[in-house]
Amino acid sequence: NAGVMQNPRHLVRRRGQEARLRCSPMKGHSHVYWYRQLPEEGLKFMVYLQKENIIDESGMPKERFSAEFPKEGPSILRIQQVVRGDSAAYFCASSPPFGGGQGNQPQHFGDGTRLSIL
Amino acid sequence: GDSVTQMEGPVTLSEEAFLTINCTYTATGYPSLFWYVQYPGEGLQLLLKATKADDKGSNKGFEATYRKETTSFHLEKGSVQVSDSAVYFCALRNQAGTALIFGKGTTLSVSS
């Protein structure tokens, strides 16, 4: 049962380093979403991608954060020059292509990557 | 903008008690509504959903009805179990269909 796979599960970085988080969507899913969960908070949308395209990045911080979903391989969320405030759980979700109407396709979540900044 | 408001937790119940977790939303149009559950150390699992007014979503004894007139989607279960202890998130899909908007989550703790 290949669900959404995220790795690593835990990632520790020092301030100023780069963090790379990977997400492989469920089989047959071509849409990927990234969310961030700060302690005691709900999930906040960051970015929505389809293969080779960023569709909505309205939740992405303007600097240091980037995301990609190449034709081959997993989606990558990259955080450059990490700071303490980047410590959070980062969740990836995927959904199949939209059918007759958007909004009816649920998103399936991975177990997340817990990023800690020293 | 779109938003979801959930009742503050934690909610502490004894086994077999009745559960209600309130959820109200603000949105343009009639968004799809969802309840997700998160167990410790895990990702979110879809619990149930409703896509139009008066729809009732149900799964594993949990139910929620899409109420357009009160813009609500309250989660209920008639008899909770210890294994239901988790964090529950109410969410809506934004009008563009590109993102889920989540509430802050409600922690449920059930004791035997």
- pLDDT tens per residue, chain B (112 residues)? 899 999 888 999 999 999 999 999 999 888 999 999 999 888 899 999 999 999 999 999 999 999 999 999 999 999 999 999 999 999 999 888 889 999 999 999 999 9
Q: Which chain A residues contact residue B51 at CB under 8 A?
A: 103-104
Quick check: B1 and B100 in contact, CB under 8 A?
no
User: How many angstroms from the chain centroid is the CA of residue B68?
Assistant: 16
Best of B100, B101, B104, B106 to substitute, by most chain A Cβ atoms within 10 angstroms, is B100
The pair of structure tokens assigned to B96 is 């563009």
Q: Is A98 on the interface with B (CB under 8 A)?
A: yes
**Angstroms from B88 CA to nearest CA on chain A:** 10
Q: Is A108 on the interface with B (CB under 8 A)?
A: yes
Using CA atoms in the order A99, B5, B55, A96, what is the torsion angle rounded to 10 degrees? 20
